[in-house]
Structure 1
Amino acid sequence: MALDTIVDLKNVSVFQGDHLVLSDVNIHINKGDFVYLIGKTGSGKSSLLKTLYGELPVKQGEGNVGEFDLTKLKRKQVPFLRRNLGIVFQDFELLTDRNVNDNLLFVLRATGWKNKIEMAARMQEVLDKVGLGTKGYKMPHELSGGEQQRVAVARALLNDPDLILADEPTGNLDPNTTEEILNLLYEISKNGRAVLMATHDYVHMKKFSSHIIRCADSSVQTEEVRQGAI
């Protein structure tokens, strides 16, 4: 696999238990790619994301995410795979009983960081990157929905991943805030990370030139969209 390749799936079948969700999946994502994952509810988008972060095993075909061979991935290796990914969910999944800094600190400790000075510096760095540099001591309920999602993006950036997986990250946000989060994710991709974003929001897709992965009829098609083309 080439050095700039982050995701490489060849003839992969995606299963939920014994149920075949997607067949003959061929996907190639490089560093810096901004990719939309689209399809109707139940079309397999979430199952595909779960395959990439090791929740669902690859039983057929060839699959690599970074340096990890998904066909040989052991359960004990899954945490190490996920340290190389950033995952952003629709409902933020912040810990409501602690402030923003402590939400980030929880992830750093869970992924092996020890040095308090380095941890503090990294937390400030990612909060600055998402425009929340002064909000570290706020509780989640004191933030708007868009700010909470920015915290979720900051959390995803903590371990400097090559790939961000975003599962309907704007699903609970108003149009203006949606545009802000999309701009943020697109800027992240321009800085060299790959972003794969599952979405129902076709309205905002025309803003960026990007790649599209479309799930439909138990299969996956890939295409490109140029700015303003949709």
Structure 2
Amino acid sequence: MIEIDNISKHYVVDGVAIPAISGISLRVEAGEVFGIIGVSGAGKSTLVRTLNLLERPDSGRIRVDGSDITTLSKDQLLRYRRKTGMIFQHFNLISAKTVGENIRFPLKLAGEYTRAEMDRRVDELLDLVELGGHRDKYPAQLSGGQKQRVGIARALANHPKLLLCDEATSALDPQTTQSILSLLLDINRRFGLTIVLITHEMDVIRRICDRVAVLDRGVLVEEGVVADVLLHPQHEITRALVQESCPSATTGQRLGLSGPLFRLTFLGAVTYQPILQRISAALDVGFNIVEGVVGRIKETPYGQITVQALGDAADPARIAAAFGEHAVRCEALPS
């Protein structure tokens, strides 16, 4: 669907060129939810805005469905943007227009629909985002979550193939964030819509994304399936982001414990099976659960716990091999 090939972008500040993104290459598959994460200033917004050329890269190519969008003519770019919806952090609604008029606006700009067709499309979208009774209200009369639902409806007006989300939930409270993420996931599944979202929150990535890219100071430092990146982060920035959303110790010294320590990672149905009990009985080894978390990455159950092995038979190699037979990853931690 999207192939980003070695793109870079810089800004000039006081006569000095400041790089925003440098040499980024990525591939986003059709129909997936792809997350881009990093701290403030990492280049996330610049990267996502290159996908509709709101920011034009200095170098590199961006292919969407095989076409290099950086070479499109003005008219071609306008047509492409109509099929590329965008949701903004602060909603960007037109305050002087009603909810219905805000959603109708991109349809009027397209100039391809009759009044009756626009009315039907507005009604469809209001039902989709569960705002059927709010058509004649103004943005000032809405909550933050409702405003973002209007923003989503507006972004979907012209039946886009690609939806870009620029920190779409960072201005919302946790409960509203979850409802907006559920709506985006429903839209992705119902219409097969490709979604690229940026965030600084790993919980957002965990909740709805299939794959994720991690940026640091404009450079791509890690990329992969969410479960792999989340459970086994390789780069220090990724580890810090994971640590922030789900604190876990990484060394025996930090825990203040001695003796064999292991980090166990469960993924899928095995998460809810009594594997620890089975291994304990089979090896005559006791385990002290020090800390951990059990949850879901999108729909997939996962668990990651730190345990202390107890007893004379606590041989690290035997323990790791036994857990491996049950498709559980077992890593010995420094003690």
Instruction: Return the letter of the residue paired with 1:195.
Output: I
CA spacing shift, 1:215–1:75, aligned 2, 3 Å: farther
Measured in 1, the distance between the counterparts of 2:204 and 2:51 equals 25
Matches within 5 A, 1:87-98: 87-98=86-97
Higher mean C-alpha displacement, 98-107 vs 173-182: 98-107
1:13 aligned onto 2:8: yes
Q: Distance in 2 between matches of 1:43 and 1:23?
A: 11
Contact kept in structure 1, 2:23 and 2:219, CA below 8 Å: yes
1:9 is matched by which residue type in structure 2? I
1:78 CA drift (Å): 3.1
Aligned residues: 225
Counting aligned pairs with the same residue, the percent is 33
**Deviations 1:181-213 (CA, angstroms, capped at 9, x unpaired):** 011111112230111111122234323452111
CA–CA distance in 2 between the matches of 1:222 and 1:155? 31
Q: Aligned with 2:212: secondary structure?
A: strand
Which has the greater radius of gyration?
2
Shift in Å, 1:27? 1.3
Return the offset for 1:36. 1.3
Deviation at 1:23, TM superposition (A): 2.1
| Structure 1, 161-170 or 66-75: larger mean CA deviation | 66-75
| Offset of residue 218 of structure 1 | 2.7
Partner of 1:214: 214
- 5+ long unaligned stretches in structure 2: 228-296, 305-335
The answer on 1:38 being equivalent to 2:37 is yes
Q: TM-score with structure 2 length normalisation?
A: 0.63
| SS at 2:90 equivalent | coil
Given the two structures, how large is their TM-score scaled by the length of structure 1? Answer: 0.90
1:128 partnered with 2:98: no
Which stretches of structure 1, 4 residues or longer, exceed 4 Å deviation after superposition? none
Q: Which amino acid is the alignment partner of residue 7 of structure 2?
A: V
Q: Distance in 2 between matches of 1:19 and 1:209?
A: 30
**Partners of 1:36 and 1:197 within 8 A in 2:** yes
Tell me the residue number matched to 1:196. Answer: 196
Q: Who is 1:64 aligned against?
A: 63
Gaps of 5+ in 1: none
- Write out per-residue CA displacement over residues 91-147 of structure 1, whole angstroms, 9 at most, x where no aligned residue: 101111121111112221112233011111111111111111221111111111101
Q: Is the 8 A contact 1:85 1:165 kept in 2?
A: yes
Distance 1:199 1:52 in 2: 16
